[in-house]
Amino acid sequence: MYSVAIMGATGAVGADLLRTLERRNFPVASIKLLASERSAGKTLNFRGQTHTVELLTHDSFEGVDLVLASAGGSISTEFVPSAVKAGAVVVDNTSAFRMDEGVPLVVPEVNGDAVAGHKGIIANPNCSTIIMLMALAPIHRAAGLKRVVVSTYQAASGAGQAGMEELLEHSRHVLDGTPAPAAEKFAHSLAFNCIPHVDVFLDNGYSREEMKMVHETHKILGDDSIGITVTTVRVPVIRCHSESINIETHRKLSADEARAILAGAAGVEVVDDLARNMYPLATRAAHEEATFVGRIREDDTIANGLNLWVVGDQLLKGAALNTVQIAEILAERGLLAAKAKA
Ligand SMILES: NC(=O)c1ccc[n+]([C@@H]2O[C@H](COP(=O)([O-])OP(=O)(O)OC[C@H]3O[C@@H](n4cnc5c(N)ncnc54)[C@H](OP(=O)(O)O)[C@@H]3O)[C@@H](O)[C@H]2O)c1
């Protein structure tokens, strides 16, 4: 049984972390819910009991075995070192440490063994990266990825609780024919819109979100030779990221072979029955642990090409679930054991 702290417990990911720890019956001896002064004193439920949210400080980690950090990159940069110093192991859901050497970047179904070398911090990859790799890693293992061209359709909740609320508020204004307030969480109003702009733009013309998907994929698959080009788009969907992925493999895979490989992959469900209009949908994938893959078809413009449509709940598999799965591996392998309470 472990003493667990959640940084960012009141956020969109925080809510799913609590539900996921509960649902998967993670061995929690005690739980500490941490947030900013905005939420300190509020109460949240965990396993039928009420817990008061505490202000996150550098002293919050005394006696804590496991920290699940989900309060934003700058907060992790500031507070995670204090947690590690206090002897806790941190699974960090932000981009603060993902590309640091010595910090494992882990999708359990893809490279779970990488947790072994941790030095106190294990990073959870970007949500769009996780969802893409759930589909691509099994294909990479079977046929070798040469090139990936991906466009994302990312939900408003990827920008947190406030992102979801802004989309709903702006949508109501459009439906009522009243002027919406200025967009704050997105560069433009997301209501009835698609915005090809997630995170900030970089000098190379790509957004940081797009380059995260490139660099993180190379790190997780341990292969920098894969060509990856990404366009990330925010769409007016509440929950679940969808991705249109075109791949070129070293070895030819037929659509049927790819379907069979994906059907046998852990954490993946193939939904691909065109006669019944069955393909992955954000509305169906919401609150589900699996990543869904469909529209699997050969790209006949190249020798070894495939097209896929992939959908996953980015608050679950893209964040909370992946984080808890990492914690489960740490617990199973005794990698949290140093300070664990009997
Ligand atoms: N949303 C997603 O789909 C997703 C997916 C993968 C990763 N992530 C990452 O997860 C992190 C959280 O995202 P989210 O979507 O849950 O955001 P969110 O809904 O905006 O929640 C942010 C959380 O961080 C807390 N927080 C903010 N500033 C703080 C401070 N100064 N001190 C202590 N706590 C503070 C907030 O507490 P208050 O209630 O006090 O404001 C809240 O609990 C981000 O790094 C994000 O990039 C998000």
pLDDT tens across 190-227, in order? Answer: 999 999 999 999 999 999 999 999 999 999 999 999 99
Cβ-based neighbour number of residue 81 at 10 Å: 15
- Give one word for 267, left, alpha or beta, with left for phi > 0 and alpha for psi -120 to 50: left
Does the beta carbon of 262 sit less than 6 angstroms from any atom of ligand 1?
A: no
The catalytic residue among 127, 140, 170, 240 is: 127
Whole-Å CA distances, 156 to 24, 197, 233: 26, 12, 10
> Which residues have CB under 8 Å from 342's CB, separation 6+?
1
Q: Which of 51, 118, 170, 241 is catalytic?
A: 241
Taking the whole predicted model, whether its pTM rises above 0.95 is answered as yes
pLDDT score recorded for residue 117 = 87
Q: From the CB of 312, is ligand 1 less than 6 Å away?
A: no
Residue nearest to atom 36 of ligand 1 (CA): 8
Asked if residues 156 and 164 have their Cβ atoms less than 8 Å apart, the reply is: yes
Judge if the beta carbon of residue 128 lies within 6 A of ligand 1.
no
In the chain, how long is the greatest CA-to-CA distance?
Answer: 60
CA of 264 to the centre of ligand 1 (A): 34
Query: Is residue 324 within 8 Å of 24, Cβ to Cβ?
Result: yes
- Atom nearest to 94 CA in ligand 1: 45
Which homologous superfamily is 129-314 in?
A: Dihydrodipicolinate Reductase; domain 2 (3.30.360.10)
At 342 the pLDDT is 37
274: which DSSP letter? Answer: G
CATH topology for 2-125+319-339? Answer: Rossmann fold (3.40.50)
pLDDT tens, position by position, for the chain (342 residues)? 999 999 999 999 999 999 999 999 999 999 999 999 999 999 999 999 999 999 999 999 999 999 999 999 999 999 999 999 999 999 999 999 999 999 999 999 999 999 998 999 999 999 999 999 999 999 999 999 999 999 999 999 999 999 999 999 999 999 999 999 999 999 999 999 999 999 999 999 999 999 999 999 999 999 999 999 999 999 999 999 999 999 999 999 999 999 999 999 999 999 999 999 999 999 999 999 999 999 999 999 999 999 999 999 999 999 999 999 999 999 999 998 654 443
CA 9 to ligand 1 center in whole angstroms:
8
Phi-psi region of 140 (alpha: psi -120 to 50; beta: other; left: phi over 0): alpha
Determine which residue's CA is closest to atom 31 belonging to ligand 1.
36
Nearest to 317 by CA among 71, 124, 76: 124
pLDDT at residue 337, as a whole number: 62
The finding on whether 39 has its CB within 6 A of some atom of ligand 1 is yes
CA 162 to centroid of ligand 1, rounded, Å = 10
- Minimum-distance ligand 1 atom for the alpha carbon of 40: 40
pLDDT at residue number 183: 98
Whole-number Å distance, alpha carbon 93 to ligand 1 midpoint, is 9
Q: Is 44 in the pocket of ligand 1 (CB under 6 A)?
A: no
Q: Closest Cα partner for 267 from 136, 147, 151?
A: 136
Per the annotation, the verdict on 241 as an active-site residue is yes
What is the domain partition of the chain in residue ranges?
Answer: 2-125+319-339, 129-314
209 CA to middle of ligand 1, Å?
17
Domains 2-125+319-339 and 129-314 share a fold: no
Cα–Cα distance measured from residue 107 to residue 317, given in angstroms and rounded to the nearest whole number: 9
